């Protein structure tokens, strides 16, 4: 049991990433506040990053491809966040509300 807890393997990282992804997904789907949705989306990115790094560390630590890819992902995530915040700001200016249920214009 102790071995299972302290001897950290790939699976620990994968389970951590899975939990993080699940939390992020739940946050994206269930939050009412658009900022909360944005924050939860960052959770998803982190979970993916953890996967990249974990696989890179355990499977292939010669080429550093996974590490470098995760750095790119973080950079892309930062840019995405900036754009998303700008869009949300404009949306907020339109509706005077941060409740995601207000944004229903796509309803069929």
Partner 1 sequence: MEFFIQNASLIILFPLWISVLIFIGKFAGVLKSKKIVFGLTLLSSIFGLIFSIPLFALIAASSGYVYENTFNFLCVNDFSMELGILLDLTSVFMLLIVYAVTLPVQIYSYSYMKNDDGFIRFFALMNFFTFAMCGLVSSPTLFQTYIFWELVGTSSYLLISFWYKKTAAANAGKKAFVMNRIGDCCLLAGIIISSVILFNFAGLPDLADIPYSSIDRVAACLFTYTSEPIFIILCILLIFGSIAKSAQFPLHTWLADAMEGPTPVSALIHSATMVAAGVFLISRLYPIYYQSVFVMNFILAIGLFTAVITAIFAIVCKDIKRILAYSTSSQLGIMFMALGSGALTGGMVYLASHAFIKSMLFLCAGIIMTLYAGKTSLEIFGGLRRKIPVLAFVFLIGAFALSGILFSGFSAKTLIFHHLLETHSYYIIAVLLIISFMTSFYIFRMYFIVFESSLKNDTSKNLSYAMLIPVIVICFVVLVLGFFLPRMAEIKFEIIPVSVELCAVIFAYICYVKIPKLPKIPVLYNLAYNGFYIDDIYTFAVKHIYGNLCSFANYVDDVVFDGVVVLTVFLAKLNSWFSSKFQTGLVQSYICYSVVIIAMLLTGFCLIYSLVAYFAEV
> Which residues would be at the binding site for partner 1 (CB under 8 A)?
25, 28-30, 37, 100-101, 103-108
Contacts of 55 (CB under 8 A, 6+ apart): 10, 66
- Smaller CB separation from partner 1, 16 or 25: 25
Contact 31, 10 (CB under 8 A): no
- Smaller CB separation from partner 1, 1 or 108: 108
Contact 49, 74 (CB under 8 A): yes
Minimum CB–partner distance for residue 91 and partner 1 (Å): 11
- Smaller CB separation from partner 1, 63 or 101: 101
DSSP tag of 99: B
């Amino acid at each position: 049991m102790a071995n299972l807890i302290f001897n950290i393997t790939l699976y620990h990282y994968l389970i951590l990433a899975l939990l993080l992804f699940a939390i992020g997904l739940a946050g994206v789907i269930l939050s009412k506040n658009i900022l909360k949705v944005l924050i939860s989306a960052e959770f998803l990115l982190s979970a993916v990053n953890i996967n990249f790094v974990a696989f890179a560390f355990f499977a292939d630590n010669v080429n550093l491809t996974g590490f470098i890819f995760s750095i790119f992902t973080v950079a892309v995530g930062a840019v995405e966040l900036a754009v998303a915040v700008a869009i949300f700001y404009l949306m907020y200016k339109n509706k005077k509300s941060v409740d995601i249920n207000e944004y229903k214009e796509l309803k069929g």
